[in-house]
Amino acid sequence: MEIIVIGTGMYVLGSNKNEYGTILPAIIEFKRQYPELKRIKFVGTNSIRTENAKKRAKQIIKMSGISLKVDFYPKNGKNNNLAYREVLSKTSNTLCAIVAVPDHLHFKIVKDCLNSGLHTLVVKPLTPTVKEATELTHLAKKNGLYGVVEFHKRFDKQNIMLKNIFNSGKLGQPLYSLVEYSQKKIIPTYIFKSWVNKTSILQYLGIHYIDLMHYITDAMPDKVMAVGQKLWLKKLDIDVFDSIQCMIKWKLRGGISFNQTLLVNWIDPNTNSSMSDQKIKFIGTKGRFEGDQKNRGIRIVTDDKGIEEPNPDFCYPYESNNNLIWRGYGIESVSTFLQDVVDIKNNKTSIKNLEKIRPTFKSSILSTAVIEYAHQSLSNGSVWKKIKLNK
C-alpha cells in the first residue's frame, strides 16, 4: 500500500536541518499502526529541490527507526509542474492523496486527485473561493470520496477543552472572542517568497480560528469586515498586508449573535522565542476562557539560540530508545485522516458519519467564505460584507 503526497515544502518535511515538517512525521507515526503501508510517493516540481527533499525524507525516516520506501518526482533532472498527474495515473495500490502545495493550486490539484478516485486530505484553506470549494465538495460526493481539510487546531487539547466548556453551558451565551495569531518575518520574505502574493495573512493563519469557531459553537458566519496595514513588507516590494484585523458576526442556530475578532500578522521579529505567537479569549455571559497557545510552560535558554519557547503540543520529536517518536495535534490531525480512510475501506465507518465530526470539504466551505468576503471588505474600504455560502 502507498500514499501519494503532492508538495515537498516546509509543511511536508521542514525547511532546514532542524525542522522536520508535519506531514511526513505524521505518516511515519501512522506506519507504526499500519504496517501494510510500504511506500510514499512525493511529488514536487523541481528535480534539484526534490533531490534535496529525498535526502531529508530518508534521514527523517531513519531517525524514526521505521522502514518505509520513498519515491520522488519529477525524476531525471527535469522540472515539471504536471509531474503529479503522471503519478496520479497509476493508483491501483494507493490508500489516499495528501496535497500540500501553495493555496492557489489547491483547487486544480485536489480536483485531479478526486478525478483519480482518491480520498484526499488538503492543507488549509480548502480553496480561496466559495465557488471552487463548492465544486470540490460536490465532486467528492459524486465520486463517493472522503475529502478533508487539515485543520489541526481542532485536535489541540486547549481548543477541545474550550469546546467542551462552551457546550456544558458554563460560559453562558457567547458575547465575543479575541484571537491574536502571528508568525515571524521569515515566512513571507523567505519560506513563501515565490507565492506570498497569492495568499494573505488572514488566509494563512486567521482561517484556523474561523474553522475553530464553527467547530466549537456550531454557529454560522453572517457578516465580516476587515482592515489591514501595508508598511514593512511593502518596503521590500512585497505588496501584501503586514497585518489584518478582521471582525466576524456569527449567528448561533437559536438566532443569538456574537462577535469574533482576529488580529493577525506575519512580521514578528525572527528572534521571537517561537514561530507562532497565538492566544485565544472567549467571553460569555457567565464566564471566560483564556488560552495562551504560545507559552505552554516551556522555556529553554542557551548560548547558541537565546530564549526558545517550543510548542510541545503541535508536532514535536520525542526520543525513545534512540528513535524519534512524533507527537502532537498536527500528527493526530493527519494520522486521524489516514485511519479514517482505512476504516472507510474496511466498512468500519462511513463518510456520512465522519461528516458530523471532521473538517470535511463540506464544512470547510464556511471558512473559505469568510476569507473570500473579508478580502472583498479589504478592497472595498473595509465595509461589512454579508456572507453567502451558495454561489
Given the complex with ligand NAD, which of 99 and 283 has the nearer CB atom?
99
The per-residue DSSP string of 286-302 comes to: S-EEEEESS--S--EEE
Side chain identity, residue 356: K
Piece in contact with ligand NAD (CB under 6 A), picked from 1-9, 221-229, 317-325, 377-385:
1-9
Q: Does residue number 81 form part of the binding site for ligand NAD (CB under 6 A)?
A: yes
What backbone phi and psi angles, to 5 degrees, belong to 190? -130, -60
Q: Does residue number 79 form part of the binding site for ligand NAD (CB under 6 A)?
A: no
* 14 DSSP assignment: -
The per-residue DSSP string of 88-119 comes to: HT--TTEEEEEE-S-GGGHHHHHHHHHHTT--
Piece in contact with ligand NAD (CB under 6 A), picked from 10-18, 140-148, 153-161, 315-323:
10-18
Q: Does residue number 43 form part of the binding site for ligand NAD (CB under 6 A)?
A: yes
What stretch of H or E contains 258? strand 257-268
Among positions 6, 114, 179, 264, the unique one binding ligand NAD when judged by CB under 6 A: 6
Binding mask 273-312 for ligand NAD (x = CB under 6 A): ----------------------------------------
Smallest gap from Cβ 383 to ligand NAD, in A, equals 27
Given the complex with ligand NAD, which of 197 and 382 has the nearer CB atom?
197
Q: Does residue number 148 form part of the binding site for ligand NAD (CB under 6 A)?
A: no
Q: Does residue number 59 form part of the binding site for ligand NAD (CB under 6 A)?
A: no
Among positions 10, 178, 186, 263, the unique one binding ligand NAD when judged by CB under 6 A: 10
Piece in contact with ligand NAD (CB under 6 A), picked from 3-11, 89-97, 310-318, 341-349:
3-11
Among positions 72, 84, 337, 361, the unique one binding ligand NAD when judged by CB under 6 A: 84
Grid cell for residue 372: 473570500
Which residues 6+ apart lie within 8 Å of 339 measured at CB? 30, 33, 34
Packed helices 130-142 and 106-115: angle between N→C axes, nearest 10 degrees:
10
CA distance 120 to 390: 23
| 108-147 binders of ligand NAD (CB under 6 A) | 123-124
Among positions 5, 25, 37, 44, the unique one binding ligand NAD when judged by CB under 6 A: 44
Number of shown-chain residues binding ligand NAD (CB under 6 A): 22
Piece in contact with ligand NAD (CB under 6 A), picked from 89-97, 98-106, 253-261, 376-384:
98-106
CA-nearest of 218, 192, 210, 224 to 153 is: 210
359: region left, alpha or beta (phi > 0 left; psi from -120 to 50 alpha): beta
Smallest gap from Cβ 207 to ligand NAD, in A, equals 9
Nearest residue to ligand NAD on Cβ basis: 9
CA-nearest of 35, 15, 28 to 63 is: 28
Which residues 6+ apart lie within 8 Å of 167 measured at CB? none
Q: Does residue number 20 form part of the binding site for ligand NAD (CB under 6 A)?
A: no
Smallest gap from Cβ 141 to ligand NAD, in A, equals 23
The per-residue DSSP string of 145-183 comes to: --EEE--GGGG-HHHHHHHHHHHHTTT-SEEEEEEEEEE
Q: Does residue number 105 form part of the binding site for ligand NAD (CB under 6 A)?
A: yes
Among positions 2, 4, 7, 361, the unique one binding ligand NAD when judged by CB under 6 A: 7
* H-helix segments, 38-102: 47-63, 83-88
Given the complex with ligand NAD, which of 11 and 155 has the nearer CB atom?
11
Binding mask 186-205 for ligand NAD (x = CB under 6 A): -----xx-----------x-
CA distance 83 to 18: 28
What backbone phi and psi angles, to 5 degrees, belong to 358? -110, 160
- Residue ranges that bind ligand NAD, judged by CB under 6 A: 6-12, 43-45, 81, 84, 100-103, 105, 123-124, 191-192, 204
